[in-house]
Amino acid sequence: MLENSNTLAAQIAAFPIENKVQLEEFRMAFISKKGAVSLLFDEMKNIAPENKKAFGAEVNLLKNLAQAKFDEFKEVIENQEDAADFDATDFTLPTTPNQLGSRHPLTLTRERIIEIFTRIGFNLSEGPEIEDDFHNFTALNFPENHPAREMQDTFFLERNPDIALRTHTSSVQVRVMENEKPPIRTLSPGRVYRNEAISARAHCMFHQVEGLYINENVSFADLKQTLYYFVKEMFGKDVNLRFRPSFFPFTEPSAEIDISCLICGGKGCNVCKHSGWVEIGGAGMVDPNVLENCGIDSKKYTGFAFGMGVERITMLKHQIKDLRLFTENDVRFLRQFKGSL
Ligand code: DAH
């Protein structure tokens, strides 16, 4: 037994441990359940009772020897590894950049428009996308037989033709006027729907921003100044705007708002159809009938309103030629708007 134990002790002492693999080999050879020391414990049952005590003491000694060597080298190897890790870390290397997403170009435009108007005292208001005839048409002074009410423009609810998907955000100005007293200065961004075939220039779903200002003595000059300020902020100080006489049932007088073409700077090109001007929306003085329909005294108050297409403005600002790009979710398109306003 003694001889056996001496050999084992010598083996334990001689076993080379220089790395993790050897450490594990050492553990397997001597400490694990099938290791040499454990096997000696198994032999206990074959030992004569009077020798058991001495045998046990000897095996325990070997066990402690193996465990002590294991613990010592384990610590040495772990320290070595830590040191190696430390050396491998170059703190001057650039980090892997976080993959940041980008906001949708229409969101960027909407937020920019909101930012520009809230700076001059406009608040925000919202209304439902599923509207009734009164808020979308009647209150806005659309005559009963106005073509915009017909099926080719409007998505009516089949079961209830009094209900439709709103065709413009002007419906929100009706809701605001019904519920608030002048002075009113509000901006209503939102989604609108029209029964149009989808093409590069038209979609059945798009976005508008509606503006409304009602107070005593509001004039067309106020409207012009407000939109002048907006256009310069949105497109830059070199961009001009003009008001073209037009017609909307809910405003009188009415105008369409054009800006000088951003592509050719007003000289004439394909985008502006060689006119030098492109349209961004409509505007006008709120028709007194509309004020009265919404419970506002048209003798005391006047107001202006305007409506603009968010897709349209985004297309002009970023020279996007096809409206469908906004809804295709092609990341190659969307990635180009990282951080841009
Ligand atoms: N609602 C109009 C449209 O969808 C846009 C518009 C024109 C809104 C004139 C207005 C306005 O508030 O005064 O085409």
Distance from the alpha carbon of residue 248 to the mean position of ligand 1, in angstroms: 7
Q: Do 194 and 319 sit in the same domain of this protein?
A: yes
Q: Do 198 and 273 sit in the same domain of this protein?
A: yes
The pair of structure tokens assigned to 194 is: 């029209």
Tens place of pLDDT per residue across the chain (341 aa): 556 778 888 999 999 998 899 999 999 999 998 998 888 888 888 888 888 888 889 999 999 999 999 999 999 888 887 776 666 677 888 888 777 778 999 999 999 999 999 999 999 999 999 999 999 999 999 988 887 677 668 998 888 889 999 999 999 999 999 999 999 999 999 999 999 999 888 899 999 999 999 999 999 999 999 999 999 999 999 999 999 999 999 999 999 999 999 888 888 888 788 999 999 999 999 999 999 999 999 999 999 999 999 999 999 999 898 989 999 989 999 988 886 65
Q: How far apart are CA 137 and CA 156, in angstroms?
A: 12
Q: Do 110 and 72 sit in the same domain of this protein?
A: no
Cis peptide before 128 (omega within 30 of 0): no
Q: Do 250 and 162 sit in the same domain of this protein?
A: yes
Q: Do 128 and 80 sit in the same domain of this protein?
A: no
- CB of residue 190 inside a 6 A radius of ligand 1: no
Nearest Cα to 289, choosing from 148, 145, 136, 142? 142
Q: How far apart are CA 13 and CA 253, in angstroms?
A: 104
**229 lies in a domain?**
yes
DSSP, collapsed to helix, strand or coil, labels residue 252 as strand
Q: How far apart are CA 287 and CA 96, in angstroms?
A: 59
Distance from the alpha carbon of residue 50 to the mean position of ligand 1, in angstroms: 109
Helix (H) or strand (E) holding 315: helix 310-318
Q: Domain tally for the chain? A: 2
For ligand 1, atom 3, the nearest C-alpha belongs to: 168
Amino acid 298: pLDDT: 97
Do the beta carbons of residue 36 and residue 29 sit within 8 Å? yes
For ligand 1, atom 7, the nearest C-alpha belongs to: 282
DSSP 289: H
- CB of residue 154 inside a 6 A radius of ligand 1: no
**93 lies in a domain?**
no
**Which residues, 6 or more positions from 2, have their beta carbon under 8 angstroms from its beta carbon?**
58
For ligand 1, atom 2, the nearest C-alpha belongs to: 307
Paired strand residues for 100: none
**Which residues, 6 or more positions from 99, have their beta carbon under 8 angstroms from its beta carbon?**
none
Q: Do 58 and 112 sit in the same domain of this protein?
A: no
What's the full length of the chain, in residues?
Answer: 341
Do the beta carbons of residue 192 and residue 166 sit within 8 Å? yes
- CB of residue 194 inside a 6 A radius of ligand 1: no
Q: How far apart are CA 5 and CA 7, in angstroms?
A: 5
- CB of residue 284 inside a 6 A radius of ligand 1: yes
Mutate to test the pocket of ligand 1, among 165, 170, 279, 304 (most ligand atoms within 8 A of CB): 170
pTM of the model: 0.72
Domain assignment of residue 164, given as a range: 105-340
- CB of residue 136 inside a 6 A radius of ligand 1: no
Distance from the alpha carbon of residue 142 to the mean position of ligand 1, in angstroms: 12
Distance from the alpha carbon of residue 186 to the mean position of ligand 1, in angstroms: 14
Q: Which of 53, 88, 123 is the last residue of a domain?
A: 88
Q: Do 169 and 230 sit in the same domain of this protein?
A: yes
Q: Which of 88, 115, 138 is the last residue of a domain?
A: 88
> What is the dihedral angle through the alpha carbons of 267, 272, 275, 278, rounded to the nearest 10 degrees?
-110
Mutate to test the pocket of ligand 1, among 222, 248, 258 (most ligand atoms within 8 A of CB): 248
Atom of ligand 1 nearest to the CA of 170: 1
What residue type is assigned to position 83 of the chain?
A
- CB of residue 189 inside a 6 A radius of ligand 1: no
